[in-house]
Chain A
Amino acid sequence: MNDRSPLSLHVPEPAVRPGGKPDFSSVRIPSAGSVPRPEVDVDPESIHDLAFSIIRVLNREGEAVGPWAGMLSDEELLEGLRHMMTLRTFDARMLMAQRQGKTSFYMQHMGEEAVSCAFRKALEPGDMNFPTYRQAGLLIAAGYSLVEMMNEIFSNEKDPLKGRQMPVLYSSKALGFFSVSGNLATQFIQAVGWAMASAIKHDTRIAAGWVGDGATAESDFHAALVFASTYAAPVVLNIVNNQWAISTFQGIARGGAGTFAARGLGFGIPSLRVDGNDYLAVYAVARWAIERARRNLGPTLVEYVTYRVGAHSTSDDPAAYRPKTESDSWPLGDPVIRLKNHLILRGAWSEARHKQAEAEILDTVVTAQKEAESHGTLHAGGKPSVRDMFEGVYAEMPPHLRRQRQQAGV
């Protein structure tokens, strides 16, 4: 019986590498408005197709169409546009600050601004996000102080986290933003636990977990789905599929499965895919999932299909692993431009007003940066004290740490 051919290992590869022509022909994009909007109490088994499609509202002409459209007023959309523009400007300034040596590290959101900004708009005060490092839109859309964010990035004397965390790993309980770990996917199961606690206490607040496409491979992701499914936890589980996990394309984490959203189907969790570069679609799907959680109907898994236009972080160079022009070919466009065009089409906005808003926002961000820098940057000016390094390990400092603090001479 020697008729068997030898085995070979399958290692998935992206369609194109540097030097090649970007190709997203394999990304199937349904037309805007074509995906139905089920009732929130729908039988999850009857909407499996939503895990393989993409819910879209804005069409190529900039019109909002279909059953997921019509949920936000002009004013709300203008506010959303301002949030995304603020985040983009904030990112640009902080990237520059990092290059100027004012901090060690930065991570930008370019191309993904709609995901966190629109999701936050659908939440209520008291709800809790368990974010990754690329959801600062949750803070900006909640009205968090830009100066506070920068104080954290600069690890200066006013850093709310006392210099203990790397840049962008913010924490704001007051605004529903759980302390960002930096270890991947750990927060996904914690979000489920927080939601379970809310249910145990007969509260009305819900939780939202966040994870990237690459980190869905972590066991924490699967534990979160098991617990969310078992206890019907009031949680929205968000996967931001921006196509790249540092240099690793999403096919390595996804394997042979059709989509990341489809991971939820085996758990009986309603699982939806949405155009992550469409502010209106993200908001509509977020609202649907949040309402399910709020009505005690259980968890929802949402995959945001988007694209990481920038580098993973300031320590990364994407030209080494993907075509330089790949982001220009991304078929779902730019979230800021798409919302801007939609608002112009609605008669609520204009190119001139957009330019003016850009200038105003830049001015706001620069003013905030000046204030933050007056409190110090990583290597210059005011810093958190060395004493702060020893504080807060425990509620009460144990004797061994007290001895060590004395040895350190602080």
Chain B
Amino acid sequence: MPRKTMVEAIRDGMDVMMGRDENVVVFGEDVGYFGGVFRATQGLQAKYGKSRCFDAPISELGIVGAAIGMAAYGLRPCVEVQFADYMYPAYDQIVSEAARLRYRSNGDFTCPLVVRMPTGGGISGGQTHSQSPEALFTHVSGLKTVVPSNPNDAKGLLICAIEDPDPVIFLEPKRLYNGPFDGHHDRPIIPWSKHELGEVPEGHYRVPLGKAAIRREGAAISVLAYGTMVHVAMAAAAETGIDAEIIDLRSLLPLDLETIVASVRKTGRCVIIHEATLTSGFGAELSALVQENCFFELEAPIRRVTGWDTPYPHAQEWDYFPGPQRVGRAFLEVVNGE
């Protein structure tokens, strides 16, 4: 099976869907002729023409607002917001419009829309190119929120997102675009060609929204992670020797609660990790759900390891980022009751 980078897998997902469904259109800042600042749409304009893949003015509000109108018409727009950090001008269109159109019109109008956004840190991007705003979407009824952690999932999830009848926020951990980053920023970069999840089948396949994947089976603790943090958790498990069960959520909403609950009931311990800030982060929701569903099986307090409640810094990036040392320390503390 061919191995691809995450960018190539995402491009492949759009390519497959544009080929299968002529209602799929792709646009955003720099995505047309140039193919996107991360190259995710490279070649799509040449292949499908300027009316299927084109450059947009620098207006995230305009990109999402126009895409909502297109979706109401019957197209399936898959638009790019260049960085999730630039999403805020479009937030009203996402929250008040895309997310509620089906509900408020009782299905008279619907919004099959995908908004792709590179998310997360690790690229020296400071506070405007590193944020992880997933909780701002999971809090909104009517949206689905997806965060892939590898090329294989990214393509299959993106295909499902484009096929979905409702709006999907597709957050792409940008530090994973070219390799499975485990948080060891001072070590040589590992390419996706060396990772089994870099294997991306040709053509159309689905990875359904709402199904988590167990990346490592274990008995000592359940680790709930998504995106880049899945790889950090794998590294932390290997380095501490803790027999962690690492769950890659893949889709935050809908959420695979069943897999989470089954795992925590088995291990009796739970560590939740994400890059986003702690307070009111998605980890708070996960923690509440684990408490509500697994209280009597828990043998230790649930532990969250996250970014600190500061803006994402530039020079102090690796003090902010919850890397394998911090995550590993949490594993040891939760297992040893420290």
Interface of A toward B, CB cutoff 8 Å: 128, 130, 160-162, 164-165, 169, 171-173, 178-179, 181, 183, 186, 189-201, 207, 219-220, 223-224, 226-227, 230, 392-395, 398-400
Contact = CB atoms under 8 A, between A and B. Distances in A.
A399 B97 contact: no
Contacts of B101: 179
A128 B156 CA distance: 34
Contacts of A181: 96-97, 104
A189 B73 contact: no
Q: 4 closest pairs, A vs B, by CB?
A: A193-B69, A193-B66, A189-B65, A223-B62
A161 B107 CA distance: 9
Given A186-B96, A197-B69, A227 B62 contact: yes
Contacts of A172: 108
B69 A169 contact: no
B257 A179 contact: no
A393 B144 CA distance: 11
B72 A178 contact: yes
B249 to A, nearest CB: 14
Interface residues of B, number: 43
Contacts of A200: 25, 51-52, 70, 75
A227 B52 contact: no
Contact of A161 (B62, B104, B141, B144): B104
Contacts of B25: 197, 200
Contacts of A186: 65, 92-93, 96-97
Contacts of B102: 392-395
Contact of A220 (B65, B72, B165): B65
B225 to A, nearest CB: 20
Contacts, number: 140
A403 to B, nearest CB: 9
B41 to A, nearest CB: 16
29 contacts: A128-B73, A130-B69, A160-B106, A165-B104, A169-B104, A171-B104, A171-B109, A178-B109, A179-B104, A183-B92, A190-B66, A193-B66, A193-B68, A194-B70, A194-B72, A196-B69, A197-B69, A200-B75, A201-B75, A219-B89, A226-B59, A227-B56, A227-B59, A227-B62, A230-B57, A393-B102, A393-B142, A395-B102, A398-B254
A62 B290 CA distance: 74
Nearest to A183: B96
A394 B142 CA distance: 6
B68 A179 contact: no
Given A179-B104, A395-B165, A398-B210, A226 B62 contact: yes
Given A193-B69, A193-B73, A226-B59, 18 more contacts: A161-B106, A171-B105, A178-B72, A179-B109, A181-B104, A189-B69, A190-B65, A190-B97, A191-B69, A192-B65, A193-B66, A196-B69, A392-B102, A392-B107, A393-B102, A395-B165, A399-B210, A400-B254
A145 to B, nearest CB: 15
Contacts of B68: 190, 193
Q: Which of B25, B52, B72, B74 has the most CB of A within 10 A?
A: B72
Given A181-B97, A186-B92, A173 B69 contact: no
B103 interface: yes
Q: Which of B65, B68, B142, B253 has the most CB of A within 10 A?
A: B65
B96 A192 contact: no
Interface string B274-287: 00000000000000
Contact of A194 (B56, B69, B110, B257): B69
B154 interface: no
B69 A192 contact: yes
A196 B144 CA distance: 25
B61 interface: yes
B40 interface: no
A393 B93 CA distance: 16
B305 interface: no
Contacts of B159: none
B327 interface: no
Contacts of A183: 92, 96-97
Nearest to A203: B73
Contacts of B104: 161, 164-165, 169, 171, 179, 181
Contacts of B165: 394-395
Interface in B21-44: 25
Nearest to B256: A399
Contact of B57 (A190, A194, A227): A227
A190 B69 contact: yes
Contacts of B67: 193
B166 interface: yes
A398 B254 CA distance: 6
A174 B165 CA distance: 20
Interface string B189-223: 00000000000000000000010000000000000
A172 B93 CA distance: 20
Contacts of B105: 161, 171, 173, 179
B61 A189 contact: yes
A127 to B, nearest CB: 12
B273 interface: no
B320 to A, nearest CB: 31
Interface in B99-121: 101-110
B322 to A, nearest CB: 26
A259 to B, nearest CB: 23
Nearest to A200: B51
Given A161-B104, A226-B57, A196 B70 contact: yes
